[in-house]
Amino acid sequence: MIIEEHGLAGEVDLVSIDLDGNDYWIWDALTVIQPRVVIIETHIEFGLRSIVVPYDKDYFFPGKHPDYHGASPVAMAKLANVKGYRLVGANLYGFNTIYVRRGIGEDLLPEVTVESILAHPRNKERSILFEPIKDWQYIEM
């Protein structure tokens, strides 16, 4: 892996992943480092569905459609849980989600729900963007 080839391995403080596409798959494959905190983009237009767009090694934004990429906040939270992280927050609109490794700062940063990070009124409007691509291929997580 590129990260290991450049001398990084083990525990690191922060990893931020924002690729407008394969974010989920990159974090899923990232095993050489163990970040304390991960900030990763999700696709709020997918709402509370637990779905991920299939991995595409040749993906580039905007791809087949500007809203057909990435993973839902629910799917990302499930991946985080499997990897040993808890959702602690997000940016105002909920698409940049923040995870902290379990066992770190749990008394200071309690776990939050995906529903709470998607509570901004703008997200109801954004969910309409899923309609044209709702029948496309997704992986249910």
Considering only 80-89, 90-99, 121-130, which range has the smallest mean pLDDT? 121-130
H/E run at residue 96? strand 96-101
Look up the pTM and report it: 0.93
* pLDDT higher at 6 or 130: 130
Contact 49, 73 (CB under 8 A): no
60 Cβ contact partners less than 8 Å away, ≥ 6 residues apart: 21
Mean pLDDT across 80-106: 97
Domain for residue 57, yes or no? Answer: yes
Q: Tell me: pLDDT of 12 over 90.
A: yes
State residue 80 phi and psi, 5-degree precision.
-55, -45
Mean pLDDT across 127-137: 94
Domain for residue 59, yes or no? Answer: yes
Helices (H), 91-133: 114-117, 122-127
- How many structural domains are present in the chain? 1
Domain for residue 140, yes or no? Answer: no
Token pair 């394969």: residue: 22
Domain for residue 95, yes or no? Answer: no
Domain for residue 112, yes or no? Answer: no
Q: Tell me: pLDDT of 1 over 70.
A: no
Segments forming the whole domain that contains residue 48:
1-88+118-127
Q: What is the Cα–Cα distance from 22 to 20, expressed in whole angstroms?
A: 7
Give pLDDT, residue 100.
98
Domain for residue 97, yes or no? Answer: no
* pLDDT higher at 9 or 15: 15
